[in-house]
Structures are given as structure tokens and as C-alpha cells.
Amino acid sequence: MNLFLQGGEVATENEAPKRADVWIVDGVIKAVGVIDAPADARVVDCTGQVIMPGMFDAHVHFREPGQEHKETIYDGAESAINGGITGVVMMPNTAPSIDSPTVVKRVLDLGKKCRIPVHTSACITVNRAGEEMAPIAGLKDAGILMLTDDGDAVPNAALLKRAMEYGTEFGMFFASHCEDPQLCGPRALNEGPVSYRLGIQGTPALAEEICMDRDIRLAHATGATLHIQHVSSAIGMETIRWWRDERGAKVSGEVSPHHLMFADEDIGDYDTHYKMNPPLRTREDNAALLQGLKDGVFRIIATDHAPHTEFEKSQAFVDAPNGISGLDTALVSLHDRFITTGEFGWDLLVKRYSAEPRRMMELEVAEVAEGKPADLIVFDPEKETTFTKEFMKSKSSNTPFLDKTLKGSVEMVVLGDEILLERE
């Protein structure tokens, strides 16, 4: 490869985009700056476009093994590429669960067939049942860093405490799906005026917040490092801030695009595209979570990409599965909703959706800088993207953005010496 990206603006995690050309030779960035195009290079006009590191999503559900009709690992990776994402971390709530070195090896072997790095987390408890600790030492030897029973909380606090003590000795960290099962009800939608109007028992934010406080207390007591997944409420966000800043707990959090953008009132008349867990809360929660992202309470943005078939999502609201397909749409939607409106800039997005997720997973941070491996995307902020089923690469299209047109387009994805995506 001898590729010259000319006339674009390079975005980093530390500053707004600046005019620069990028020259890539054999998968390595040879030069960045305002330079003359080499005579033998392929020149791509990037005028008006933003060149930035590839995004990294540390919370995805690829459904394989066990539910390949919803998504395979390969399809999920292609969906990520389509959205400008060049690395992912799978969650372990597959069938069978990713709770043993054998299943870890199987999943990672499938991931090696993909065009981007596919990492995985593993379970805290056997089969995510909350009754017996998973073989943590063996999981560490298999290459696991993150332990989570995502999809459910660990119900037994004593078991979680022992796992935290043991896993911390191996340098692993824990990620918590926080939810009190006695309070959450049918896990359908937020408790409030909308649930009352629709006649469905709602899940109060308290169900999430109580469990969050419990898990952070356990982590703080054991010295464990804890990451709180898909935070949905203002009080939950402030709980992380307080434990981190006032008590020195080693706790971080993530926010999903849908919890920044949508609220329970968007559900309308039982639109299951807006049904997810934790549920969408209120406009006030949206605003608080956005401020928490700007303030750095949330270490990362993560989609919680959760594909389901059209048939499954066509069921009655309470019966339909929770989840939103997010990899194809995340970057464009974040640009459309927040960058075009001036809520935040490219630097924050690169930091929270590219650099920090990789740091959390102890991976090399992607940089558009001389001497670094090529791991970058080209984004056109003036073009538009319409998210039709044909455009999306995910096997499922359960998203509120289906058939919607948003501002922005991922035009090119480069990883190593390959161009993984180039729009016509």
C-alpha cells in the first residue's frame, strides 16, 4: 500500500481537527502534515473531511456461539467496519456462555477470521447463573482481562466479593450490569408517566442505582477495579462520580449512544425499537448523562450492540427482547446529534470512543501520527447516511434509525495495509 490522504483535517483525543495530509506506506503512517503528494502514491482527496483513529467498542453482543440467526462474529465485525470501528470486545452471554478457556479459545479463533481485532470478555460465574465462580485462573491464561456477567447482575454479593478478591490477584478487572431483580419487574421500560400510560409495569432507576452502589462498595473493599456498564440515570452517574472522587474507588463507567439520545417518551405506541435494558429514562437523564460525558465521569462510550431479528422485535412490547443494534449507526448518530450541534467536539469523541476503550483493555492506542500503524477512518461531515437494511452490515436491523437519514458518513476505513471500507 502507498496511500496519500490529501487535504483533510486530522482529529486527535487532545485537540480539535487540524489541516494535515496523511501518507501511509505498507501499513505504517510515514508522514503527517501539510506535505507534497509522493509521485508514486495513490492520492485520495479528503478536502472537508476528518481523518481520525478508528473507533473501538468495548461492549458488543455478537450472539455466536448459539444464536447465529441474530448475528455471527464475522457479521458483527463487518457491521463495526461499516460504522468506522476497528476493534471490539464481545460480551459473554452467548449459548454456551463464554465461561471457560475452551469457549474463549473457540470465540477468539472465530474472531481471527474477521478483518478487525475481536476481543472477548468472560463470565464471573459459571453459565452466568450466579451460583459458582467461573475458572478465573484458566480464563486469565486464555487471555481474558474483563470479567462480567453482562445481561444480569451477580445476585450473590458474597460470591461477587470472592471473585473480585481472586480476579484482582491476576490483574483482571470487573464490569457490572447493575440491576436489582426484585425491583426491575419485566424489564420493559422506565417507571414513570409513559409506563403508566402504556399500562406496563416499569423498571425504576432505583433498581440500577442500588445494585451499582453495592458493586462499587464491594470493589472498593476488595481493591478491585470495576467498570459500570450502560449507565442510564443521572443518580447512577453521580454515584460513580462520588465513589471515584470522594472515596478513591477504582471505578469507571460507560454511556451508550441511545441513553444520550433517546428517552422513554420516544417509545410512542409500543415501538420495540426503543425497548432496551437498562431502559430509556427521561430527557433530564439524557442531559445529565451528556454532561457526565463532558465532565469525564464516563471513561468510554460503548454501544451495547444487541442485535435481534425482525420477528423477535415484532412481538408485544413486554415479550419482545431488549436491545438495539448500534455498530452501524453509532459514529454517524453521535456526529449528527452532538458534534453538528456543538455539544462536544471530535477530540472528546476520539478520546471516549477510540483511545480510552483501548487503554481500558490494555491495548495500544490508535493514533494518526508518524511511525504509528495505520488504524484510521475518514469521515465526511457534510454527506448523509440513510440506514436502510441494505446499507447496514449487521444481520439484524433493530434500531430506531432504520430508514432514517443522518448527517455524516464514514467514507474510508484503513487498518494496517488494507483498506477495509471505501464508499463509492
For the chain, the farthest-separated pair of C-alpha atoms sits apart, in whole angstroms, at 68
β-strand partners of 114: none
Which residue pairs from 354-359 have beta carbons closer than 8 angstroms and sit at least 24 positions apart in sequence? 354/13, 354/52, 354/53, 354/54, 354/55, 354/56, 355/13, 355/53, 356/299, 356/300, 357/56, 357/57, 357/58, 357/89, 357/300, 357/301, 357/302, 358/56, 358/87
Q: What is the DSSP letter of 42?
A: E
Coil/strand/helix, residue 95: coil
Cα separation, 358 vs 57, whole angstroms:
9
Class of CATH domain 2-51+370-422 = mainly beta
pLDDT tens-place string over residues 229-281: 999 999 999 999 999 999 999 999 999 999 999 999 999 999 999 999 999 99
Per-residue pLDDT 10s for the chain (424 aa) are 999 999 999 999 999 999 999 999 999 999 999 999 999 999 999 999 999 999 999 999 999 999 999 999 999 999 999 999 999 999 999 999 999 999 999 999 999 999 999 999 999 999 999 999 999 999 999 999 999 999 999 999 999 999 999 999 999 999 999 999 999 989 999 999 999 999 999 999 999 999 999 999 999 999 999 999 999 999 999 999 999 999 999 999 999 999 999 999 999 999 999 999 999 999 999 999 999 999 999 999 999 999 999 999 999 999 999 999 999 999 999 999 999 999 999 999 999 999 999 999 999 999 999 999 999 999 999 999 999 999 999 999 999 999 999 999 999 999 999 999 999 8
Domain coordinates of the chain in residue numbers? 2-51+370-422, 56-360
Q: Which CATH architecture has domain 56-360?
A: Alpha-Beta Barrel (3.20)
* Active site amino acids: 304
Cα separation, 95 vs 79, whole angstroms:
21
Please state, in angstroms and as integers, the Cα–Cα distance from residue 1 to each residue in 29, 241, 377, following that order: 11, 46, 16
**b (16+ CB within 10 A) / e for 367-402:** bbeeebebbbbbbbbeeebebeeeebbbbbbbbbbb
Cα separation, 67 vs 158, whole angstroms:
32
2-51+370-422 with 56-360: one CATH topology? no
